[in-house]
Amino acid sequence: MSDFTPSEMMIVSAARALAGIRTVFVGVGLPNIACNLARRTVAPDLELIYESGVYGARPARLPLSIGDPTLVTGAISVMPMADLFGLYLQGGLVEVALLGGAQIDRFGNLNTTVIGDYAAPKVRLPGSGGACEIALNARRIFIIMRLMKRAFVDKLDFYTSPGHLDGGTSRESLNVPGSGPQLVVTDKALFDFDNPEREMQITSLHVGVTLEQVREEVGREVRISESVRETAPPSEAELNLVRVELDPQGMYR
Amino acid sequence: MSDFTPSEMMIVSAARALAGIRTVFVGVGLPNIACNLARRTVAPDLELIYESGVYGARPARLPLSIGDPTLVTGAISVMPMADLFGLYLQGGLVEVALLGGAQIDRFGNLNTTVIGDYAAPKVRLPGSGGACEIALNARRIFIIMRLMKRAFVDKLDFYTSPGHLDGGTSRESLNVPGSGPQLVVTDKALFDFDNPEREMQITSLHVGVTLEQVREEVGREVRISESVRETAPPSEAELNLVRVELDPQGMYR
Amino acid sequence: MTDKRLSMREAIAEYITDGLSVAIEGFTAFICFAAGHEIIRQGRCNLTLIRMTPDLVYDQMIAAGVAHKLVFSYLGNPGVGSLHCVRRAVEKGIPAPLEIEEYSHYGMVARYSAGAMKLPFFPLRSYSGSDLPGANSRIKTVQSPYEDGETIAVVPPINPDVAIIHAQRADMLGNTQLWGLLGIQKEAAFAAKRVIVVAEQIVDESVIQADPNRTLIPGLIVDAVVHEPYGAHPSYVQGYYDRDNKFYLDWDQISRDQAGVEAWLEEWVMGVPDRAHYVAKLETETLERIKPGMAPAAPVNYGDYR
Amino acid sequence: MTDKRLSMREAIAEYITDGLSVAIEGFTAFICFAAGHEIIRQGRCNLTLIRMTPDLVYDQMIAAGVAHKLVFSYLGNPGVGSLHCVRRAVEKGIPAPLEIEEYSHYGMVARYSAGAMKLPFFPLRSYSGSDLPGANSRIKTVQSPYEDGETIAVVPPINPDVAIIHAQRADMLGNTQLWGLLGIQKEAAFAAKRVIVVAEQIVDESVIQADPNRTLIPGLIVDAVVHEPYGAHPSYVQGYYDRDNKFYLDWDQISRDQAGVEAWLEEWVMGVPDRAHYVAKLETETLERIKPGMAPAAPVNYGDYR
């Protein structure tokens, strides 16, 4: 088995989770490569949706932003953002959306707004963009972020994008279309929320990663699924696609 | 002075009333010819707006319906109806709209819905189409219809498109953008509503028409403006444009 | 990806069943008479017909007895006069009583928009001072929570069971492009539970992808693609054929009595197996008369970015 | 009809005065840096800057001190990282404190839509469970008057004093066509009290009229037309030039401290009289690097109907 980077493990894990999916709402960078890998492997009918107003992008190069002109040329449809958000996202056509954040709590709520106090922030982050409505309207949310103490927190400084809120049935009480976070892909392990409390739990540890390392990074007790297993490493085929076709310059190794 | 038909007098009168106007919401037939005459004479910057989604039509022939393909080819902009009604009409960009109806009352309210009871109509008319929102949102309404007893009634069977409602300040109480009916062009006389009661009043009698004839047709006392005058007959130039260029087949003589 | 092409007969048989709500949309243009006629041929009934302007297509379908209800905003033979069959049904219950639900044009546009955007209502500046809300209790008001506190009219979403959209071109996956009068076809398609696209031409996906801003309906929401040249006759398709105005004028006479309509339906709908035979039955003079000249769009370069 | 063409200097001098609210829109693409730089050169101040994604153009304008308030939905250097100038203003009040009013993307889209449609509010499915309404009291809710009685979020209209829209082509009357990412330029233009269109090419009205479905903004709502090739650099214009990504990366370094930004502004904004000189100052290598290949749109025939 050839060796691989933690980023490659994240890309491959996210791609595998998209098996059979028809539409994915995506950003640039690592998630974008994951979606294109899924298209070439487990989700041949997958269409990429970008908040910039693109449905069914056919990029001729690695897009450098979600508004890259290569996402427009050759796409199936390019529309005003009012249609992208109104007809596609709110219209219920987005099966999976990939999100990330500066902070995530145990219930998959995300903060991309501020560190510190909103009125006098220590760090002013980008803000919601489309994340808030994506988190509520996409049928399922997959979260992709590296496992870091400062990111996996007990309490968010700001709730930008609702996950399972306070856990249990609290999200259902919002009566929103989307079912919220289903998966968290990190560089060390995979997490899901398949328990009555809707609390993040380890389902799979990447090769060579120990529970202690994960606890260490999360900085608190972490719930563990009964069916916890080791993540199958990237296959030769998967690595080849990523390294040769999808990210030849290795921008996201 | 060459002679002319009552229709030609209506066309010319409506065209003159559009002097200096920039945008007019229009249907087909006689009003359409009036607008094109205005464009060639008193309103060179006039742009025609059709509810079918056309702004700035440049018809190469007499359009046979408001959705005629000749209104599309060569137009400045052709858009979804949501934009036509939302951005142009509701957006406040329509200076004048031309309307008509099966019934009109003394305050310029129009009925295009039913004759008789709504639930069991004697005659089922076309209905509103865009007329209801046009009557409320266009800055000014010009009404064009032939003077006929059964059309000029005391009480409408159905209020489709609000004019000055019960007169006086009753329309203002609606707090709508448009100022309502300003002019009624008929084949016998012109009417306005320039009195505190906002009641239809004769301002101009076409050549050879007597007050008695008008009263006869309206079938009731008709208010008369202090400044009532005789309508200036169509000029040679106006008649030429209508007969030679705008309606060569004389479809609307 | 799966090829979604079906014949009109297959598409109607598969997706239109008795009692459904059906929107054959297209404002004056792109009216899919081919679908309306096939629905009549297959003897569907109790349909709720939805269209801003019922036009001749619903006049014919209502005379044929396929509908029990009509949702609309303007009942007319555009540029000609009345829809006599709809009037007979509403005024005299011939061939059967017809329930109606009536809005203004913008009200229907707003209903389709709310349906497409999955909103509980859509606000619009209309109806105040009109009798329409009195005639239709679905038209309500909402108060603005902002300073003005203004009260504004709202209409509820409409989500037809099936929308049938005619277009110039589509690929076999249902990615569809229209030009000319766009009406509310986009909103109707996104609002509908099922979508049948009927196209003058089936093109390769690469043709669609060569002008992504022109794509009005993505294959994602399309269930069937029917290739049906002249499928919108006697209405028109921008750049492909003109409205057959002679027929619109003739219909004003044909439709004056139910017997005349039934004779016409017998000959032009029941009497032909499909649209191809209908087109063959049209005089070549007719097809020549409605053929437009060329007016190409100005060129556009999307740019090759690799 | 009057020719609305002005130089950028004339257009900004005429329509942008201190204290106005200004929306230079365009999502990643069509960002009119030429207008932003001219506003800086003319020393405007106390502006309320409105943009979904402030991007580098507002980062530069805020560092230059033209703004007292920012209305936005995403603060980032797209694909690169932070907007350091905006962060300095918000976190440290450098060069001056900056008031912010924050929404999500769809919230801003909805605000422009309400502004363009003259609606008192626009409903959208967002914000429930988020802290955003707590941070911005302009985000409210309305209850549906229909069966469900559902409560839905609403945002108020936004009507900028001036919108500046960059496009591929316009005629001298302001009839404007765009292709590629359409963003919310249409809604922003219709919502604004004044509109300045900046185009890569000024074309004859006949070019516009040869593809009426492509017209996004009618001259009717346009006050000034500025011909400014490369006016959107370092952002891009579909089919005309690519984003100058090298500059977006460089800016991440340049903008790390206020001094560096001021030096850059001195050289590239204050140091040039207009965009033509700015373009001349760019290396030819740069212009070559951002030149795309050809990808023509598929042909379309509107049909000649006479």
pLDDT digits (tens, 9 = 90+) for D25-82: 999 999 999 999 999 999 999 999 999 999 999 999 999 999 999 999 999 998 899 9
Please state, in angstroms and rounded to a whole number, the distance separating the CA atoms of residues D153 and D148.
15
Distance CA D91, CA B234 (A): 72
How is the beta sheet containing A23-25 ordered, strand by strand? Answer: A77-78, A54-55, A47-50, A23-25, A96-99, A140-144, A181-185, A189-192, A201-205, A223-230
- In 3D, which of B86, B66, B78, B58 has the Cα closest to residue B129? B66
Contact B110, B132 (CB under 8 A): no
pLDDT grade, residue A114 (50/70/90)?
very high
- Closest CA–CA distance from residue A65 to any residue of chain C (Å): 13
For residue C50, which amino acid is it?
A: I
Asked if B6 reaches chain D (Cβ–Cβ under 8 Å), the answer is no
Residues of C in contact with A74 (CB under 8 A): 209-210, 212, 302
Q: What is the pLDDT of residues D95-115, one digit of tens each?
A: 999 999 999 999 999 999 999
How is residue D43 written in tokens? 């020393």
Phi/psi at C132 (nearest 5 deg)? -60, -45
Instruction: Please check whether residue D137 touches C, CB under 8 A.
Output: no
C138 touches C110 (CB < 8 A) = no
Please answer yes or no on whether C182 and B79 come within 8 Å at the CB atom: yes
**CB distance C167 to C199 below 8 Å:** yes
Q: Does C212 sit within 8 Å of A75, measured CB to CB?
A: yes
Which pLDDT value is given to residue A28?
81
Residue A16, CA distances (Å) to A21, A163, A238, B146 in order: 10, 22, 10, 72
Q: Which residues of D touch C240 (CB under 8 A)?
A: 303
* Chain A: partners with 3+ C-beta pairs within 8 Å: C, D
Spell out which residues of chain C touch residue D122, defining contact as CB-CB under 8 Å.
123
Query: For residue C177, what are its two tokens?
Result: 């492009």
What pLDDT score does B2 carry? 62
Of A134, A154, A161, A85, which Cα lies nearest the Cα of D129? A161
Contacts of B133 in chain C (CB under 8 A): 104-107, 124-126
Answer whether C305 sits within 8 Å of A60, measured CB to CB.
Answer: yes
- Minimal CA–CA distance to A234: which of A246, A219, A218, A222? A246
User: How close D247 gets to chain C, by Cα (Å)?
Assistant: 18
Asked whether the whole model's pTM tops 0.95, one would answer yes
Band (C79; pLDDT cuts 50, 70, 90):
confident
Of all residues in chain A, the percent with pLDDT exceeding 70 is 99
- Name residue, tokens 């955007």: C117
For A3-13, b/e burial (b = at least 16 CB within 10 A) is ebebbbbbbbb
H or E element in which residue B136 lies? helix B131-137
**At A225, which helix (H) or strand (E)?**
strand A223-230
* Residue segments in chain B with a per-residue pLDDT below the cut of 50: 1
Q: Check CB contact of B251 with chain C, cutoff 8 Å.
A: no
The CA distance from D88 to D269, in Å, is: 20
Task: Say whether C124 and B69 touch across the interface (CB within 8 A).
Answer: no
Q: What is the pLDDT of residues A154-188, one digit of tens each?
A: 999 999 999 999 999 999 999 999 999 999 999 99
Q: pLDDT, tens digit, for every residue of A41-72?
A: 999 999 999 999 999 999 999 999 999 999 99
What is the rounded average pLDDT of the residues D154-160? 98
Q: Where are the alpha helices (DSSP H) in chain C?
A: 8-15, 33-41, 55-63, 84-92, 105-116, 132-135, 185-191, 205-209, 245-254, 258-265, 275-281, 284-289
**How many angstroms separate the CA of residue D100 from the nearest CA in chain B?**
28
Rounded CA separation A56/A71 (Å): 9
Give the distance from residue B138's alpha carbon to the nearest chain D alpha carbon, in angstroms. Answer: 13
- Residue C183 and residue B81: Cβ atoms within 8 Å? yes
The amino acid sitting at B33 is: I
Q: Residue D48 is which amino acid?
A: T
Annotation marks residue B51 as catalytic: yes
Whether residues C118 and A60 touch (CB distance < 8 A) is answered with no
Q: Do D215 and B76 touch (CB under 8 A)?
A: yes
Helix-strand-coil percent breakdown of chain D, rounded to 5? 35, 20, 45
Judged against a pLDDT cut of 80, whether residue A144 lies above it is answered with yes
Cβ atoms within 10 A of the Cβ of D102, count? 22
DSSP string, D132-188: HHHH-TT-EEEE-SSTT--EEEEE-----SEEEEEEEEE-TT--EE--S--TTHHHH
> Which among B128, B160, B174, B251 is the top mutation candidate for probing chain C, defined by the most C β-carbons within 10 Å of its own β-carbon?
B128
Is 50 exceeded by the pLDDT of residue A1? no
Residues of chain B with Cβ-Cβ distance to C72 below 8 Å are 127
Can you read off the two tokens belonging to residue C294? 């060329």
Distance CA A81, CA D113 (A): 11
Integer Cα distance of D82 and C110 in angstroms: 40
Alpha helices in chain D (DSSP H): 8-15, 33-41, 55-63, 84-92, 105-116, 132-135, 185-191, 205-209, 245-254, 258-265, 275-281, 284-289
One-letter amino acid for residue D71 of the chain: V
Q: How confident is the model at residue C302 (pLDDT cuts 50, 70, 90)?
A: very high
Looking at this protein, which amino acid is placed at residue C45? C
Q: Any CB–CB contact under 8 A between A82 and chain C?
A: no
List the one residue out of A161, A117, A114 whose CA is nearest residue A136: A161
Angle at C246 between CA C281 and CA C86, to 5 degrees: 95
The predicted model gives C216-243 an average pLDDT of 98
pLDDT of the residue at B1? 47
Question: For residues C104 and D205, what is the distance between their CA atoms, to the nearest angstrom?
Answer: 34
Task: Tell me whether the omega of the peptide bond preceding residue C54 falls within 30 degrees of 0, making it cis.
Answer: no
Q: For residue B37, what are the CA distances in angstroms to B31, B247, C232, D130, D292?
A: 10, 10, 33, 58, 47
In chain C, which residues have their Cβ closer than 8 Å to the Cβ of D148?
120
Average pLDDT over residues C25-34: 98
Summarised one tens digit per residue, pLDDT across range A183-217 is 999 999 999 999 999 999 999 999 999 999 999 98
- The three-state secondary structure class of C124 is strand
Tell me: the pLDDT tens digits for C243-261?
Answer: 999 999 999 999 999 999 9
CA distance B70 to chain D (A): 5
Q: What is the pLDDT of residue A2?
A: 62
**CA neighbor of C182 nearest in space, from A73, D178, D212, D298:** D212
Interface contact B129-C109, CB threshold 8 A: no
Q: Of D64, D30, D32, whose CA–CA distance to D47 is shortest?
A: D64
Mean residue pLDDT across chain D: 97
Q: Which residues of A does the annotation mark as catalytic? A: 51
ipTM over 0.95: yes
Test D302 with C295 for CB contact under 8 angstroms.
yes
Dihedral sign of CA atoms D34, D37, D43, D46 in order: positive
